[in-house]
Amino acid sequence: MRTDFNPPTDPAAYPFVHQVRVRFAETDAMGVVHHAAYLPYLEDARVAYLRSVGHPYAAVRDDGMELPVVEVAVRYLRPLRFDDLVQVHLVPASVTGATFQIGYLLATAGQTAATAVTVHGITVGGRPARAPAWLAGLVDGG
């Protein structure tokens, strides 16, 4: 596993939060969010984060760059249920060569439901590429 970041469980450690509401279609017969439904929550927060730092994903793609997910790890701690309002906290964790990691904390009603890490490749024209300065700067708080 390439994920070497252990996401903190303190929401204050995350510079960005995005809110999603659990839809009925994302739950199983027990009324619990299906494990695969967490991945779109991470993606939604990631896209909103890029937009908030002035690099909407459409503009990143217009520059010829893609940021594919190459690995994901989720630690499920407490179930999410239909109509829960979920705060998806996000922190850029590391940039190394042609990859970067993002950490997440998913919480509802003040309780941690899950933590996650996504590892992304950086490609330009379908080939691995070094992180641009703006992306590396996000890890440094820039």
pLDDT for 56-108, tens place per residue? Answer: 999 999 999 999 999 999 999 999 999 999 999 999 999 999 999 999 999 99
Query: What's the CA gap between 111 and 11, in Å, rounded?
Result: 10
Q: What is the pTM of this model?
A: 0.93
pLDDT for 105-139, tens place per residue? Answer: 999 999 999 999 999 999 999 999 999 999 999 98
Instruction: Name the CA dihedral angle for 21, 26, 28, 29, rounded to a multiple of 10 degrees.
Output: 70
Determine which one of 28, 63, 84, 140 is catalytic. 28
Structural domains of the chain in order of their starting residue, each with its CATH number = 11-139 (3.10.129.10)
The yes-or-no answer on residue 28 being catalytic is yes
